[in-house]
Amino acid sequence: MRRYSVFAIAREGFRQHSGWDRAWPSPLPKSRYDVVVVGAGGHGLATAYYLGRNFGIRNVAVIEKGWLGGGNTGRNTTIIRSNYLQDPSAAIYEKSRSLYETLSQDLNYNVMFSPRGVMMLAQTQHEVRGYKRTAEANALQGVETEYISAQRVKELCPIIHIDGPRYPVLGALWQARGGTARHDAVAWGYARACADMGMDIIEQCEVKGVTQANGVVTGVQTSKGDIACGKLAIVVAGHSSVLAEMAGFRLPIESMPLQALVSEPIKPCMDVVVMANTVHGYMSQSDKGEMVIGGGTDGYNAYNQRGSFHHVEETVRALVETFPIISRLKMLRQWGGIVDMTGDRSPILSKTPLGNCFVNCGWGTGGFKAIPGSGWAMAELVARGEPGPLAADFGLNRFREGRFIDESVAAGVAH
């Protein structure tokens, strides 16, 4: 596949852009693959990419019941950070953040990574103590983050109101090398790189069943026919429990809606990401000028992708108190995703009771930031059959053994 470059753009400009190849083909499935990855979102595509890049496994199919990147990968607010409290979480998120820094070069595709910095506001004394603790833990983990004063918050984000009547800003946990990326571009970049390695990306291909023999997976039944495989990776976020049931086991997750919205575009006024966890709201400004706004999950289990109006109202009302400047903005569009939540708010990267079947789920609302690190760790698990250092603590057995990785505080608004 031809590399993208400034010279290629110039050449195609003279040819009315008639010479570009398709970014990835749409093949029919083969009868058998070494590995079948279910889910063509960011995590599934990253898993396939690192299987090929790191382990040379390229007879791989990535199958998707809808369209590539049409699930949570295309339905999030693109926040990237790694300042989590627990050691296993900090390790995998920092690996992911560091991979994002060079991802455009690695994939030869501009994912628009913007290291604009992420701050998590401390608006109660409890949060002050918690974020100072996290900053100390991050220092020991080698994650660059710091606790900053309210005055420094105001310098970094002049539009913020730090003297709010209910929730004044007392400080913030600040990660200067955090930021955002373009969600669609991340999925497209991985897909193009996978196709370049000879992998098949098969859209509109719904899994109807999982076949097995003697306790080992043998393939999947799909809307496009039966596909045999040596190994199966289930990477389907909020629908993980549905696929797990097909494979004959249960997962300790629940699925619920998470929604977000963007405002009408305005002139640049905010060049950082701000998370206000006490009031359950977070905001950044996109390259197009829209204010990207989100909050916590809805309070009920569901598989819809709309969410509820009252939750949008609660989120916006809270943010208006901290950012009065946005009070007269109009909402441009709103969307929802289906997030997969574990009891300890940490992911699952694990072998399963079905032999040669592996699962990657439970990222909650922190999935986008974890895509490269998740794919790296999952590829190692699938290729070797055993978890590597990044995935070792995220196995299913931790729930039976009581080894929880509690990130309910560091995850904030569940990001």
Backbone angles phi, psi at 121, to 5 degrees: -70, 135
Question: What percent of the chain is modeled with pLDDT above 70?
Answer: 98
Answer yes or no: do 360 and 382 share one domain: yes
pLDDT confidence band for 116 (50 / 70 / 90): very high
- Asked whether residue 326 is assigned to any structural domain, the reply reads yes
User: Do the domain assignments include residue 51?
Assistant: yes
Shortest CA distance to 101 belongs to which of 174, 179, 2? 179
Choosing from 295, 323, 342, the residue where a domain stops is 342
Do residues 101 and 170 make contact, with C-beta atoms less than 8 angstroms apart? no
- Regarding whether 327 and 198 lie in a shared domain, the answer is no
Q: What sign results for the dihedral spanned by CA atoms 350, 355, 357, 361? A: negative
CB atoms within 10 A of CB 226: 15
Backbone angles phi, psi at 362, to 5 degrees: 80, 20
**276 in the same domain as 152:** yes
Q: Which residue among 342, 357, 375 closes a domain?
A: 342
Averaged over 402-415, what is the pLDDT? 70
- What is the residue-wise DSSP string for 8-52? HHHHHHHTTT--PPPSS--PPPPSEEEEEEE--SHHHHHHHHHHH
Give the three-class secondary structure for 406. Answer: coil
Residues 35 and 97 in one domain: yes
For 259-308, how does the pLDDT look when each residue is reduced to its tens digit (9 = 90+)?
899 999 999 999 999 999 888 889 999 999 999 998 888 878 888 877 67
Number of domain units in the chain: 2
Tell me whether residue 307 is in a domain: yes
Residue showing tokens 């701050």: 119
Domain contains 8: no
Cβ contact 365:295 at 8 Å: no
In a domain, 304, yes or no: yes
| Dihedral over alpha carbons 319, 324, 325, 331 (to 10 degrees) | 40
Residue 414: pLDDT over 50: no
Domain that holds residue 378: 27-82+84-109+183-252+344-401
Q: pLDDT band at 28, cuts 50/70/90?
A: very high
Task: Give the model's pLDDT for residue 340.
Answer: 92
Query: Is 296 domain-assigned?
Result: yes
Reported as type and span, the H/E element at residue 135 is: helix 125-141
Asked whether residue 19 is domain-assigned, the answer is no
Phi first, then psi: give them for residue 259, nearest 5 degrees: -125, 160
Q: Does 259 share its domain with 335?
A: yes
354 secondary structure, DSSP code: S
Residues 94, 148 share a domain = no
Instruction: Report yes or no on 50 lying in a domain.
Output: yes
56 with 73, same domain?
yes
CATH number where 101 lies: 3.50.50.60
Same-domain pairing of 161 and 225: no
Which residues pair with residue 285 across a beta bridge?
A: 291
Q: What is the pLDDT of residue 413?
A: 45
Residues 6+ apart with CB under 8 A from 277: 120, 121, 123, 127, 412, 413
pLDDT tens per residue across span 209-245: 999 999 999 999 999 999 999 999 999 999 999 999 9
In the predicted structure, residue 78 carries a pLDDT above the cut 90: yes
Q: What's the average model confidence in pLDDT over 303-323?
A: 84
- Tell me the two tokens of residue 285: 């400004």
How many residues in total does the chain contain?
Answer: 415
CA-to-CA dists, residue 356 to 164, 230, 337, 350, angstroms: 54, 7, 29, 11
What is the domain-level CATH number for residue 124?
3.30.9.10
* Confidence bin at 409 (pLDDT 50/70/90): low
pLDDT at 412 over 60: no
- The answer on 321 and 280 residing in a single domain is yes
- Of 342, 363, 393, which residue is a domain's last? 342
- Clarify whether residues 51 and 94 are in a common domain: yes
Same domain, 259 and 389: no
Q: What per-residue confidence (pLDDT) applies to 278?
A: 84
Terminal C-alpha separation, the chain: 36
Whether 236 and 218 share a structural domain: yes
